Amino acid sequence: MPNEFRTSVGGQALMEGIMMRGPEKICCAVRKPDGTIDLTYDKVVTRWYNKVPLLRGICNMAENLYKGYKYLMHAADVAMEGVEDAEPESKLDKWLDEHTGPVFQNVLMTCAAFAGVALALFLFTFLPTFLTGQLIRFIPLGRWGRVILEGALKMAIFLLYMFLCTRMKELHRVFEYHGAEHKTIACYEAGLPLTVENIRKQSRFHPRCGTSFMILVIIISIFLYAVLPWTSTGLRIVYKLCMFPLLVGVCYEILKWAGRSHSVLSRIVSQPGLWMQRLTTFEPDDSMIEVAIAAVTPVLPENQEEARW
């Protein structure tokens, strides 16, 4: 049975660490090479668009991409601090450190975040439509046949991409930290003391997860884009790009509702994301759970009701 209490506490798995976000604070905990845990803090800024349905989805996605990349880079720096066999800094990196300020570096991180979005759009928007357009030259299909084929290709590309990610050793450890993040939040929502023993018993699957959002975007896009014309493959791709902000906004609202509700329908909506988390979360070891506890403890409000989702 799901817990009756859902919180707004969330997080992100990092290289040898975890970022946890509470109602007012953000804490990034990273395991250093000497075994100690480095903690850095930030404040949660309430944005005006968080009260505007649909708009808050696309704005939050952009903000999370930027901040997520920022925390990933910070964690990588801390995790590799003092490692002798680390690759030497390149001349370009040295020049950037010496001649650029925080503003320029923020611009670089923003560009990197949007480059990730561009890659995702290529893989899951352009490529399935392009391949479908090529295949229907040899296999005549009606409108719904094309929609089904495009959807199947999109899902296959996504699953293959996620599977290949799990084969990478470094990402596999990140997915273990992802499991520690979920287990820790589940333990807090269950009202149990945050100990390694209690957290280890919790499920690593959680309905309010970035993986759930990604698979929801893939599934909803199949139905949303079904109304678009097939007169031209190129034009269809343009239409899909124009509808992408609407797609993100709709999926955000659905995931937000599903995270709060315990109805049968919300469980059906959440199930594909929970299945996908078998590829993006793995069982953590005790040291990873310790990092998760260190990250979440500073961001929790004194009154649990203040963190209600």
User: Which range has the worst mean pLDDT, 110-124, 165-179, 248-262?
Assistant: 110-124
Check whether 202 has a pLDDT greater than 90.
yes
Which tokens in the block code for residue 126? Answer: 């352009």
Per-residue pLDDT of 175-188, as tens digits, reads 999 999 999 999 99
Domain ranges of the chain: 10-82+91-303
Q: What is the pLDDT of residue 108?
A: 59
Q: What is the pLDDT of residue 1?
A: 36
Q: What is the pLDDT of residue 3?
A: 47
Q: What is the pLDDT of residue 65?
A: 83
Neighbours of 220 (CB within 10 A): 16
What does the pLDDT average to over 22-36? 94
Q: What is the pLDDT of residue 256?
A: 86
Q: What is the pLDDT of residue 2?
A: 42
Instruction: Tell me the whole-structure pTM to 2 decimals.
Output: 0.84
Check whether 260 has a pLDDT greater than 70.
yes
Q: What is the pLDDT of residue 280?
A: 93
Q: What is the pLDDT of residue 20?
A: 96
Check whether 94 has a pLDDT greater than 80.
no
By percentage, how much of the chain surpasses pLDDT 70? 85
Going by pLDDT thresholds of 50, 70 and 90, the confidence category of residue 136 is confident
What does the pLDDT average to over 145-169? 90
Tell me the C-alpha to C-alpha distance, in Å, between residue 68 and each of 11, 65, 102, 178, 214: 10, 5, 17, 14, 15
